[in-house]
Amino acid sequence: MDSTVTLTVDGTSHEVDVDTRTTLLDALRERLGVHTVKKGCDHGQCGSCTVLLDDRRHLTCLALAVAHDGATITTADGLGEGDDLHPVQQAFLNHDGYQCGYCTPGQVCSAVGMLEEVKQGHPSHVTDDLKADVDLDGDPDDSGMVDDEITERMSGNLCRCGAYRGIVDAIREAAGLEPRQDDARVEQEARP
């Protein structure tokens, strides 16, 4: 049985006819031609299909399109303004937070959503005090904890190439944090 759903994708509204069993991922890729959203595992385990769905990160392979009629979806393509990249996208470039690039759109969307969750004070599984504000202030005394917090929050997004160090460094930059101590040392040694 088909149903018509309205989806606003990267600022453009679309009406699309879908079988009621169609995932949001398949509606985006096959019906709307949005190929920034990647199909990886198709089981919600790799995160390559992550988008911002009504401003929250979401796995599209686990969502039925009909359940999100009227939703606003932002893909990695919709984060920037024309040629101006979103700060997270720029940070991924600055820190080589990608290799083959397949997982990158999902990683970027997840990082944007994760940073918003931090701003709103949502705790994670490694947050010491679930009632305290989440601390991503870059204090050198807790830089290991900051990295633990980032990696835990991004754990649903896999990178088969192993670019995790660059991904964490990119998220640190986008969050306005100081470089890791060893990164600062390398930058200082590189200066004439």
Give domain 87-186's CATH superfamily. Answer: [2Fe-2S]-binding domain (1.10.150.120)
For the chain, the domains span 2-78, 87-186
Q: Which CATH class name applies to 2-78?
A: alpha beta
Q: Say what the pTM is.
A: 0.86
| Cα–Cα dist 111/191, whole Å | 30
DSSP secondary structure code for residue 27 in this structure: I
Q: Do 158 and 47 meet the contact criterion of CB atoms below 8 Å apart?
A: yes
Q: What is the pLDDT of residue 137?
A: 54
In sequence order, the 6+-apart residues with CB closer than 8 A to the CB of 149 are: 118, 124, 126, 127, 134, 135, 136
Which strands sit side by side in the sheet containing 2-9, from one edge to the other?
12-19, 2-9, 72-74, 50-53, 56-59
Measured CA distances, 185 to 16, 189, 190 (Å): 53, 6, 9
Q: Do 170 and 111 meet the contact criterion of CB atoms below 8 Å apart?
A: yes
For residue 4, give the 3-state DSSP assignment. Answer: strand
Q: What is the pLDDT of residue 74?
A: 98
29-80 per-position pLDDT tens digit: 999 999 999 999 999 999 999 999 999 999 999 999 999 999 999 999 999 9
Would you tell me how many other CB atoms lie within 10 Å of the CB of residue 119? 11
Q: Which of 5-9, 60-64, 159-163, 188-192 has the lowest average pLDDT?
A: 188-192
| Beta strands, E only, the chain | 2-9, 12-19, 50-53, 56-59, 72-74
Q: Which two tokens stand for residue 5?
A: 């759903």
| Cα–Cα dist 147/136, whole Å | 9
